Amino acid sequence: AQSVTQPDIHITVSEGASLELRCNYSYGATPYLFWYVQSPGQGLQLLLKYFSGDTLVQGIKGFEAEFKRSQSSFNLRKPSVHWSDAAEYFCAVGAPQTGANNLFFGTGTRLTVIP
- Interface with other proteins (CB under 8 A): 4, 36, 41-46, 49, 51, 90, 92, 98-103, 105-108
Nearer to other proteins, 11 or 15 (CB): 11
* Dihedral pair phi/psi, residue 62, rounded to 5°: 80, 10
Q: Which of 4, 80, 82 is nearest to 39 (CA)?
A: 82
d(CA 23, CA 91): 6
Q: How many CA atoms lie within 13 A of 87 on its CB side?
A: 20
Alpha carbon distance, N-terminus to C-terminus of the chain: 41
Shortest distance (Å) from residue 35 CB to other proteins: 12
- Choice between 15 and 88, CB closer to other proteins: 88
- Comparison of 43 and 115: residue with beta carbon closer to other proteins: 43
To the nearest whole angstrom, how small is the minimum distance from the Cβ of residue 16 to other proteins? 29
Please give the Cα distance from 44 to 111 (Å, whole number): 15
Q: Residue 15 CB, nearest distance to other proteins (Å)?
A: 26
91 vs 113, beta carbon nearer other proteins? 91
